[in-house]
């Protein structure tokens, strides 16, 4: 189903699952096994991230196409503009369309971390709202964008600027917002309040990352600027060298987060699954949202 038709049901939240493209054929076949298990949670779509560095970019669109064909589940293709010319970006949009994919997550992206001398493409789009505008010229696409409950680091703590930019992306044609990960729902509720007060009325879907290990969540939050609340940090200390224990704790935490979010009326949950299925399945079983 297209993004603009999702998130209408008041009875049941729409569950989506974000994956990343593995770099090896073995990784890809393992991912397809994971996807088979994830189908048990009845996702409305799988989404596939688009690499910042170039090496995995071609994999994303191909993986989206194969996922849609083989799993029978809808997909959303992520696309960023960093380091690419306008021609490359429009060629990517055409390739996505030719692959039969209409759901698009339009992103700016970040310069690759391993390229300290990275320079923006002189003939590229420089803002994600321009990508929304470009893709939106073709009604084929149904477009989502990112949102930041804890304010994007580039906005340097200025909530009003961050929300004004988000509005620009929605006014350019985006029909849904998927949020960055957050480990305290208060960030989401506060953000949603600002979003609605700014007159943005599209669905806002919380991004949930089930913790897999203490090291992993510290790395991820440092990268995206999300906070590890004090109680979570204290709990993680117990699992420094126990990834299985950290993952169990991650399931418990995410279950509590999702339960509260659903009670508040969110129309969907977007899981950063990191190509794993166990935690997402357990969380949805806990929430009684799994179909088997």
Ligand X SMILES: Cc1cc2nc3c(=O)[nH]c(=O)nc-3n(C[C@H](O)[C@H](O)[C@H](O)COP(=O)(O)OP(=O)(O)OC[C@H]3O[C@@H](n4cnc5c(N)ncnc54)[C@H](O)[C@@H]3O)c2cc1C
Q: Catalogue the active-site residues.
A: 18
Nearer to ligand X, 3 or 235 (CB): 3
Does 192 bind ligand X (CB under 6 A)? Our answer is no
Q: How far is the CB of 224 from ligand X (least distance, A)?
A: 7
Among 13, 74, 75, 80, binds ligand X (CB under 6 A): 80
Q: How far is the CB of 205 from ligand X (least distance, A)?
A: 9
Q: How far is the CB of 144 from ligand X (least distance, A)?
A: 8
Q: Please report, as residue ranges, which positions from 115 to 174 form the binding site for ligand X (by CB under 6 A).
A: 127-128, 146, 148, 152, 154-155, 161-162, 165
- Helix, strand or coil, per DSSP, at residue 19: strand
Q: Please report, as residue ranges, which positions from 48 to 67 form the binding site for ligand X (by CB under 6 A).
A: 49-50, 52
Q: How far is the CB of 197 from ligand X (least distance, A)?
A: 17
Let me know: does 2 contact 171? Beta carbons within 8 Å.
Answer: no
Task: Single out the segment in contact with ligand X by CB under 6 A; choices: 36-44, 101-109, 210-218, 240-248.
Answer: 101-109
Q: Considering CB under 6 A, how many residues would be counted as binding ligand X?
A: 23
Does 178 bind ligand X (CB under 6 A)? Our answer is yes
Cα–Cα distance list, 23 to 30, 68, 73, 203 (Å): 11, 19, 22, 33
Q: Which residues contact 199 (CB under 8 A, 6 or more apart)?
A: 167
Q: How far is the CB of 127 from ligand X (least distance, A)?
A: 4
Q: In terms of C-beta distances under 8 Å and separation of at least 24 residues, what long-range contacts does 21-27 make, across chains too?
A: 21/48, 21/49, 21/51, 21/56, 21/59, 21/60, 21/63, 22/59, 22/275, 23/55, 23/56, 23/59
Let me know: does 252 contact 282? Beta carbons within 8 Å.
Answer: no
Residue 130 tokens, joined: 């321009």
Q: Please report, as residue ranges, which positions from 11 to 40 form the binding site for ligand X (by CB under 6 A).
A: none
Q: Please report, as residue ranges, which positions from 205 to 224 form the binding site for ligand X (by CB under 6 A).
A: 207
Taking each helix axis from N to C end, the angle separating 128-136 and 159-171, rounded to the nearest 10 degrees, works out to 10
Let me know: does 275 contact 22? Beta carbons within 8 Å.
Answer: yes
Q: Which residues contact 238 (CB under 8 A, 6 or more apart)?
A: 245, 249
Task: Single out the segment in contact with ligand X by CB under 6 A; choices: 91-99, 102-110, 191-199, 208-216.
Answer: 102-110
**DSSP bridge partners of 133:** none
Among 109, 149, 203, 268, binds ligand X (CB under 6 A): 109
Does 45 bind ligand X (CB under 6 A)? Our answer is no
- Helix, strand or coil, per DSSP, at residue 142: strand
Q: Please report, as residue ranges, which positions from 221 to 250 form the binding site for ligand X (by CB under 6 A).
A: none
Nearer to ligand X, 207 or 210 (CB): 207
Residue of 233, 188, 194 lying closest to 214 (CA atoms): 233
Nearer to ligand X, 50 or 239 (CB): 50
Nearer to ligand X, 146 or 255 (CB): 146
- Helix, strand or coil, per DSSP, at residue 225: coil
Provide the binding-site residues for ligand X, judged by CB under 6 A.
49-50, 52, 78, 80, 105, 107-110, 127-128, 146, 148, 152, 154-155, 161-162, 165, 178, 180, 207
């Amino acid at each position: 189903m297209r993004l603009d038709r999702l998130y209408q049901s008041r009875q049941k939240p729409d569950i989506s699952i974000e994956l990343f493209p593995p770099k090896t054929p073995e990784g890809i076949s393992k991912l397809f096994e994971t996807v088979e298990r994830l189908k048990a949670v009845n996702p409305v779509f799988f989404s596939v991230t688009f690499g910042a560095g170039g090496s995995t970019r071609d994999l994303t669109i191909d993986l989206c196409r194969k996922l849609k064909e083989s799993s029978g589940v809808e997909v959303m293709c992520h696309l960023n503009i960093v380091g690419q010319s306008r021609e490359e970006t429009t060629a990517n949009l055409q390739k996505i369309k030719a692959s039969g994919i209409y759901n698009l997550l339009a992103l700016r992206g970040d310069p690759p971390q391993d390229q300290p001398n990275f320079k923006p493409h002189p003939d590229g789009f420089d803002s994600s709202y321009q990508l929304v505008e470009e893709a939106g010229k073709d009604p084929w696409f149904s477009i989502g964008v990112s949102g930041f409950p804890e304010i994007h680091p580039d906005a340097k703590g200025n909530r009003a600027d961050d929300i004004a930019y988000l509005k620009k992306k929605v006014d350019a044609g985006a029909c849904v917002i998927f949020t960055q990960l957050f480990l305290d729902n208060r960030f989401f509720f506060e953000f949603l309040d600002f979003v609605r007060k700014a007159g943005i009325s599209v669905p806002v879907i919380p991004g949930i990352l089930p913790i897999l290990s203490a090291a992993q969540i510290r790395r991820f939050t440092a990268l995206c600027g999300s906070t590890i609340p004090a109680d979570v940090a204290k709990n993680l200390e117990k699992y420094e060298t126990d990834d299985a224990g950290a993952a169990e704790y991650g399931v418990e935490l995410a279950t509590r987060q999702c339960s509260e979010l659903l009670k508040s009326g969110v129309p969907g949950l977007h899981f950063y699954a990191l190509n794993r299925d166990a935690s997402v399945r357990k969380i949805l079983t806990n929430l009684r949202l799994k179909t088997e």
